[in-house]
Structure 1
Amino acid sequence: MVDKMDYVHGYSDRENSRLCDQASTLTMLLHHDTIYPSGSRVLEAGCGVGAQTVILARNSPKASITSIDISGESVEKARLLTEKEGVTNVSFQVADIFDLPFEEETFDHVFICFVLEHLKNPLDALLSVKKVLKKEGTITVIEGDHGSSYFYPRSDEAMQTIKCLINIQELLGGNSLIGRELYPLLNRAGFKSVSISPRMVYVDSSKPDLVEGFTKNTFNAMVEGVREQALELKMIDEKTWTKGINDLYRAAGQEGTFCYTFFKGTATK
C-alpha cells in the first residue's frame, strides 16, 4: 500500500522470499489469535505479495477476505501464491488505502500487517479504513519496531547498520519505529477498546528454524537490502558497514543471541 518509490525494501525476488520467510517463521507468534467467524467480510489493506494473506485465509477458511494493494505487480504475485497454496476464500483488487473503492461500513473486520511503517500519513490510513468498517467491527494492526532489536555479541558497527535502515525509511517518509506508537495512533483515529500486545522474538542456536527464518533471512536480509543507499548517502563507510553486517551474522552463530519485538494492536469501531 505504498508507492513503489517509497518502499524501502524494494520489489526484488529476494525481497519476495524475505517476506515469505518472515511470514512462515512468525505464523504462530503473530497470527495464532487472529481468527474471523464464518461468513464475515474481512479487508486486508496492503497485502503485498500475499505472504500474510495465505496465513490469514487459512486461519479463517469460512470468512470472505478482500485483499488490496496499490501495486498491481504485488497483487498479481499474491494471487498466484494463493492459487499455488490452494487458498480459495480471497479476492484481490488493486486499490489505494487512502482512497478505498468500497461503500462505508462494508467490512466486519480490517487487517493491516507491516503497512503503516511505510506510510507518510499512517493516521490518515487508519481513518480511511475506519470508514469502510462496520460499527462495532474490529481492526487488527501488526507492526515491527527496529529500535527494539538487540543482540549478543554487542557491536557498535552492527547497530550503525540498523540505524541506516531506520534513517533511510525515515527519509522515504516512513517510520520503522512505529510499533511502539500503535496505541496512540489507534486512539487518535477514534477506535475503542484499544489493546496492544508486544510479541518478542528471541533467537539462539537452540532454535535453528528461527536462526535461519528470522535472524538471517528476515532481519539481516532486510538490513543488507539498504547497503547501496546507505553508502551512497554516506550514512556509513564501507568498512564499518561490512563489519556491522558480519557482526549481525555472528549474532546468528553458535554463541550469539538476537531479540526483536513486534506489536499487535486490536480495537473496535
Structure 2
Amino acid sequence: MRTDYVHGYTAAETRRLADQAGTLASLLHDGLHFPPGARVLEAGCGVGAQTVQLLIRHPHIQLVAIDQSEASLTEAKARVAAAGLDTQVEWRCGDLRELEGETFDHVFVCFVLEHLADPVGVLRGLRRLAPAITVIEGDHGSAFFHPWSAAAQGVIDCLVGLQAEVGGDALVGRRLQPLLREAGFTQVRVEPRVVYADETVPGLVEGFTRKTFVAMVESVRERAVAAGMLSAAEWAHGVRELERAAEPGGTFHYTFFRAEARR
C-alpha cells in the first residue's frame, strides 16, 4: 500500500494532524462502538493522531496499528505513550498485505483512501481481514467559505490537483459507498459529518479552519509553486484570501463522510 503523502512528513504536518484529531474527535468518533476485547486494526495509523482518540474512547480493545512509515510510527508511539495508552497497542511497520491470514473483529481506516491509487484493491484486502469496517474520509469539494474569492479557491484547487497527480483523490469522500460496494462489502451505510465554523464557535475557527484546513492547503505550497501551478506571490495571496474565512464575518463549511460496512 505505497503512498506519496502529498502533505509531506514534516513537524508542521504532524501538528496539523494532532489539531485536526482533537478538534474533530466528537464529530468523527461519536456513535462508534467497539466492545471490550475486540481486536481492531487501524490501517494506516500515521503519526497516531486518531490512534489516541480510538484508545480514549475504547480503552479495552486490542488495537493493532500499522503504517508503512517507520518515522510516522515512531511519532505515533511517542504520542500514545504521552497519553498513557502505550500498553494497549501492538505496532506494525509494513504493508497491509503482510497481514494476510490474520483476523480482526473490525478495521478502522481514517484519511487513508484519499492517498491511494487503488482504494478498491486495498479495501478488498481489508475485507478479508475482518467482518466489519469503518472508513472516514474528507472531500475538498465540500469546502464552502465566505468571503469567497477565486484566489482562495485557486489554492484549494492546487491541493486537489496535486493529490490527483500522485494517484490520490482529494474528493474521495463522496465515493465511499460505491468504493465499498465494488470491494465486495455489504450493508454499506454512509453518513455526512459536517463542520461549520464562524466567529460564534471560536474553537472550531481556530482548530479547524485555521489549524486544520488552511494549514493543510499550506502544506503543499512548495509543490504547487515548483509545479508552476501558481507563482509564490499568487500562492501567498490565495492563502491570505482563504484566511479571511477565519476572521470576524467569515464562515467555513466542510463535510466528512463516515462509512460503516460488513463483508
Instruction: With the length of structure 2 as denominator, give the TM-score of the two structures.
Output: 0.97
Query: What does the per-residue CA deviation read over 1:41-69, in whole Å, with 9 as the maximum and x for residues that have no partner?
Result: 00000000000001011111111010000
Aligned partner of 1:68 in structure 2 is 66
Aligned partner of 1:21 in structure 2 is 19
Give the Cα separation in 2 of the matches to 1:77 and 1:207: 30
2:254 pairs, out of 229, 254, 260, with 260
Give the Cα separation in 2 of the matches to 1:227 and 1:79: 29
Q: CA RMSD in A?
A: 1.1
Aligned partner of 1:112 in structure 2 is 109
2:31 pairs, out of 30, 33, 51, with 33
How much does 1:122 deviate?
0.5
Give the Cα separation in 2 of the matches to 1:37 and 1:116: 25
2:129 pairs, out of 132, 142, 146, with 132
1:12 pairs, out of 1, 10, 32, with 10
Sequence identity, in percent? Answer: 49
Aligned partner of 2:89 in structure 1 is 90
Runs of 4+ in 1 over 2 A off after TM superposition: 237-240
**AA at the equivalent of 1:126:** L
How much does 1:26 deviate?
0.1
**AA at the equivalent of 2:39:** R
**AA at the equivalent of 2:70:** G
Give the Cα separation in 2 of the matches to 1:2 and 1:215: 29
For structure 2, the residue ranges without an aligned partner over 5 or more in a row are none
- The secondary structure found in structure 1 opposite 2:99 is coil
Query: What does the per-residue CA deviation read over 1:226-269, in whole Å, with 9 as the maximum and x for residues that have no partner?
Result: 11111111112333322211111111001100001100000011
Aligned partner of 1:164 in structure 2 is 158
Give the Cα separation in 2 of the matches to 1:229 and 1:62: 42
How much does 1:154 deviate?
1.2
Contact 1:119/1:175 (<8 A) preserved: yes
Bigger drift between 232-241 and 247-256 goes to 232-241
Give the Cα separation in 1 of the matches to 2:11 and 2:237: 26
Is 1:173 the equivalent of 2:167?
Answer: yes
Is 1:195 the equivalent of 2:189?
Answer: yes
Query: What does the per-residue CA deviation read over 1:8-41, in whole Å, with 9 as the maximum and x for residues that have no partner?
Result: 0111111000000000000000001112001110
Give the Cα separation in 2 of the matches to 1:83 and 1:59: 16
Contact 1:100/1:128 (<8 A) preserved: no
Aligned partner of 1:149 in structure 2 is 143
Contact 1:197/1:263 (<8 A) preserved: yes
For structure 1, the residue ranges without an aligned partner over 5 or more in a row are none
1:234 pairs, out of 225, 228, 233, with 228
Contact 1:205/1:255 (<8 A) preserved: yes
Contact 1:2/1:118 (<8 A) preserved: no
**AA at the equivalent of 1:144:** G
Give the Cα separation in 1 of the matches to 2:128 and 2:98: 9
